[in-house]
Structures are given as C-alpha cells and as structure tokens.
Amino acid sequence: MKNKLVADIFREIAKLLELKGENPFRIRAYEKASQNIESLTQDVEVFAKENKLTSLPGIGQDLANKIKEIIKTGTLTQYEKLKKEVPKGLLEMMEIPGLGPKTVKLIYEKLKIDSIGKLEEAAKSGKLRKLDGIREKTEENILKGISLLKKGRERTPLYLALKIAEGFLEPLRQMKEVEKIEVAGSVRRRKETIRDIDILIVSKNPSEVMDKFVNLSYVREVLAKGETKSSVRAGENEIQVDLRVVEKESFGSALMYFTGSKAFNIKLRQLASKDGYKINEYGVFALTKGKEKKVAGRTEEEIFELFKMPFVAPELREDRGEVELALKNKLPKIIDRKDIKGDLHVHSKYSDGTSTIKDIALYAERMGYQYVGICDHSQGLKVAGGVSVKDVYAKIEEVRKINRQLKKVKVLCGTEVDILNDGSLDYPDSVLKEFDLVIAAIHSGFKQPQHQLTKRIVSACKNKYVHVIAHPTGRLFGVRDSYEIDFDEILKVASDYQVALELNCFPQRLDLNDINCMRARAKKVKIALGTDAHILDQMLNMDLGVSVARRGWLEKEDVLNCWSLDKLLKWLKK
C-alpha cells in the first residue's frame, strides 16, 4: 500500500512550492490531494491499475500521472528537483505548527538558520525578534510550536493506530492457535492519539503466534520476542505494538488492566481494597485471614458485577466520574454506531467532492441511513469549488428530484457556508433560507486574536438560518492546534440561539474532541456528527466520530444524528 508515500510526497511538494512563493491554488491542490489519498481506505495502487485515479477528489490527469510515477519509481522527478532547490532543514522548520513559509524564508535568508535546533536556540536567546516583522510574541509562538511538534511525533493519531492494529488483529485472529484476541490500551478506549498498541491473546501454543506476529509484513523492527510477550515497531510511523499472552482464566482481568486507563485502574483498585479485595491483571482476589482466593477474572463482566457496577464501556474509562456514576447505576447511556440515522456533512461534485448527490444518497441508503446532508462549500471559497448562487438553485432542484425517486433516504440540501473575516456569511440570507441544513465554518484567518475568532463564530450563531457550526475549534492533527477561541462564550451563544456544534469525523480533525463534547453536553448544546466526506468511502469515518462522542458521554438526545427524520426536520425548521 503506497497511500502514505504518495500523500507524503504531495505534502512535501506543497511545502516546497510554498517556500518558493508559488501560486496558492497549485499549493492547495497538492495539499488536498495529499489529504484525500492519506485518508483513502482503499489501496491507491488499485485505482492506478484500473486507471481510476481521476475518480478521486482533487486528482486530475496531471496528478494521476504523478501518482503512477511514484508507485512505479518510489519517488517523483519534480519532487527530487524541488528538493535540491531548497535546504532540507527549511522543510522541517515548516512542520512547526504556526510557522509559515514567509517567516521561514526570512529567518533563513537573514540569519542563515536552516534547522529546528538552530531555530530553537535563536528563539530562546531572543535573536529572532531583531528581524523586521518578528515580534516577541512570534518568538514565543515558535517555541510553543516546536514543543507541539516534538510532542506530536511521540503519538499516532487514532485512525492510523486503528488501521495498524487491525492489520495485526486480522491475520492473528485467523490462526487456529489463537483462542481469544483483543486490542487493549488507549486503542480500545479510542483515545485520539496513541503511544503504543497493546494486544492480548489466549493461546495454547504461543510460540507459533509469536512467530507469525514478528513476521507480519508491517513489522519494521523486532524489539523483543519471547514466549509471553513480544514487541515490534510497525507501519510507516513505526509505532510500537506489544503482544502479550495471558491465561484464559484471567483474560478478563488482563483485558481490564491493559485497557486502562491508568487512572481508572487506580480508582478500581482503591474501590477493591475498601471492600477487602485485591485486583490486578491476574484477577480479583478476596483476602481472608491472610489468604488469597481468586473470586473473578475470567471476563470483564464478572469483575464489574462483583463490584456491583454495570459494564463500563472502554471509552468511558478515564476516571472522569464514570466509576462513581457506575456505582449508583447512573452511567450515561452513550450512543452506539447503530443509533446513527444519518450523516450531516458530505460534499458532492457541486463543490470539491467526487460523487454525485444521487450516488451519495444511495451509499447512505446502503449504510442504513434515513437521511444525509449534502453540505458543499459556499461561493467565495474558490479553492474548494465553492458553489455559485446560480448553482445553489440547480442543486436544490436536483435534490428535489432525487427525493422524489428515493424511498428510504431523504437528502437534505445543505451548505457549509464560509464565515468571513467580519463574521458575516458567504451567502446572503435570501439564499441561506433556501437550504434544509446550513452549517457554518471558518476556513481562513486562523491566527486572528481570540476575540476576533470568537466574534466571527458568535455572529454566525446569531444568524437565524445557521443550524450547525462545523469543526468549531479548527484543529488539524499534525498541522495546527485548535485556534484561539473562547469556547465558553461560544457554548453560551450556541445554547441561547439553539445552534448545534459539529463533531467533524474527518480523521485528522475529530473536532469537537471528547472533552469539548462533554462541555457541550453539560450546557445542553446539541452535537451534529458529520464525516466531511469528499469520497464515498470517507462516510465510513462515522465510526471514528461515534467513538469520540462516546468518550464525550453523549447520549441519543444530545446527538442530532440519532434523531428520527421527523424530529430532525422539526428542529431544523425552528
């Protein structure tokens, strides 16, 4: 699978072009292509073989040829040439969140700084601020960015970790030697970033399993191989994967222990000791007269039962109050994937998506949905194929026609309208009122001061046609942190004006995150799940969004997508 390789080269080209001050449209084209290919769940080589590359979003004939060259040769002539024109360290410097190409160029040209190390030193000693256009604040931001970058490299985003984990689970599950297999740790809890992947198995013949494990094709390096535990580094980002063999009789306690979180384990241990029990990865033991007797451990269920708790979903096990609630049998009834009745953010060919509305609707039908919101970009967002007012009316007509043809799925004609710099929206109210679903989002000016960004979102909430604020905090894994907004203020206004906040399910976004979902829930602000799919396949990222919603304690009432079509329509019309 060469998806990551292609995505990486395109991303680097975009950066190199930026450093050279090239045309922003061209740069954006490479960035988009990179993102789309990276999040593709199918193998890009298959598309190449079948001559279907141009069916992918943002891939024209030119990029298709380049992808073929990368698949064939492992690199790209144009890329190799560009790399020679720009010092290597500058590219790395551009990975520092918040540091743009102009500043990198300036720093390089004036101070000959061409590595992150040198940059950190110069920022710490206050040398940068002597340059024109660099303030003390910029220097601080650079240092913050460097630490963010270092942190980011230690952890892998959930979607990649899940892919790698599945790459191990699937072949091992098929072995007759494997009786039970389960992923534990932060992957099972669906935490948004993962340090390492923990897998547990039960087997009567572990050495066969270990042999297979260390020889799987994704393994880059074998760190340790033993009878009961092996560790490898896997995948392009070389994440560590640990495989442990445990006893069948203590599988439940091992699974619970290695699922964590650590804070949850500690909480449970305290609880156990108060009741006169000892709990560890081997089981729960009753202590009587100095003697230990195992009383539970085969399954997690029997352990929870012993402590008079309902089953606590792994996504909740963070010691955020769930243990106390479980003891009172008052855990939130968090949503489940099967509660989702529709996707509220999908792009069609009208903007920068690859599929027709009809195909999206049919796909939604196959996913068992009752509705799907087609929210294309608005007129001013030219780089993303924003829809002109004239085409908005054509789209509305088309949606009506499709809705007459389809029985099971209702298409909601929507827009992802751009929130402009002054907080106004990129369509006039006379156009906005024609949509079934209006989600508003910020796509530029991420570095504005907090009060300005907050004000933009607040004014969008106050527009009576806006239903949802999309990707409200703007974070993009590995690219930028959330932008500075006063989230409490936004929650207050969203609650006052009954605007929902999106939980964008795009793998690099997951925005709102779990904590912000909890905060929204506490203020009774509704959440809308949207995959932001540009390819049909990406609609499957709903799973990721659901796991964030579960971590955020969301219940059916909190999530628009869990509502029936009637209830949703009523809310949208209000």
CB 306 within 8 A of CB 279: no
- Nearest-angstrom CA–CA distance, 543 and 163: 13
- β-strand pairing of 196-203 with 178-183: antiparallel
- Nearer Cβ to ligand DGT (257/371): 257
Strand residue runs (E) in 395-499: 410-418, 437-441, 468-469
- Nearer Cβ to Ca ion (243/432): 243
Q: Is 386 in the site for ligand DGT (CB under 6 A)?
A: no
Helix spans in 328-446 (H): 357-366, 389-405, 429-432
Which member of 108, 159, 213, 258 binds ligand DGT (CB under 6 A)?
258
CB of 265 to ligand DGT, least distance (A): 3
CB of 200 to Ca ion, least distance (A): 12
How many residues belong to the site for Ca ion (CB under 5 A)? 4
How many residues belong to the site for ligand DGT (CB under 6 A)? 14
Q: Which residue is nearest to ligand DGT (CB)?
A: 260
CB of 22 to Ca ion, least distance (A): 41
Whether the upstream peptide bond of residue 512 has omega within 30° of 0, thus cis, is yes
Which member of 58, 157, 167, 260 binds ligand DGT (CB under 6 A)?
260
Q: Is 261 in the site for ligand DGT (CB under 6 A)?
A: yes
Which member of 69, 196, 302, 365 binds Ca ion (CB under 5 A)?
196
- Nearest-angstrom CA–CA distance, 32 and 36: 6
CB of 210 to ligand DGT, least distance (A): 19
Stretch that binds ligand DGT, among 257-265, 414-422, 473-481, 546-554 (CB under 6 A): 257-265
Strand partners, 416: 377, 439
CB of 213 to Ca ion, least distance (A): 16
Residues 455-494 touching ligand DGT, rule: CB under 6 A, are none
CB 496 within 8 A of CB 464: no
CB 342 within 8 A of CB 546: no
- Nearer Cβ to Ca ion (35/186): 186
CB of 280 to ligand DGT, least distance (A): 8
CB of 281 to ligand DGT, least distance (A): 8
- b/e burial code for range 503-512 (CB count within 10 A of at least 16 → b): bbbbbbbbbb
For residue 331, the SS3 value is coil
- Nearer Cβ to Ca ion (221/429): 221
Tokens for 153, please give them: 């490299």
- Nearer Cβ to Ca ion (92/281): 281
Half-sphere exposure of 344 (CA within 13 A, CB side): 31
Q: Is 262 in the site for ligand DGT (CB under 6 A)?
A: yes
Q: Is 252 in the site for Ca ion (CB under 5 A)?
A: no
Identity of residue 3: N
- Nearer Cβ to ligand DGT (180/451): 180
How many CB atoms within 10 Å of residue 24?
Answer: 11
- Nearer Cβ to ligand DGT (196/339): 196
Tokens for 457, please give them: 């979102």
Q: Is 185 in the site for Ca ion (CB under 5 A)?
A: yes
- Nearer Cβ to ligand DGT (110/151): 151
Partner whose footprint covers residue 266, from Ca ion, ligand DGT, none (CB < 5 to 8 Å by kind): ligand DGT
End-to-end CA distance of the chain: 48
Stretch that binds ligand DGT, among 261-269, 337-345, 389-397, 426-434 (CB under 6 A): 261-269
**Containing H/E element for 293?**
strand 291-296
| Burial (0-12, 13-18, 19+ Cβ within 10 Å), 138 | middle
Q: How far is CA 298 from CA 177, 267, 293, 487, in A?
A: 19, 20, 14, 44
Q: Is 20 in the site for ligand DGT (CB under 6 A)?
A: no
Residues 182-201 touching ligand DGT, rule: CB under 6 A, are 185-186, 191, 194-196, 198
* Binding residues for Ca ion (CB under 5 A): 185-186, 196, 198
Residues that bind ligand DGT (CB under 6 A): 185-186, 191, 194-196, 198, 257-258, 260-262, 265-266
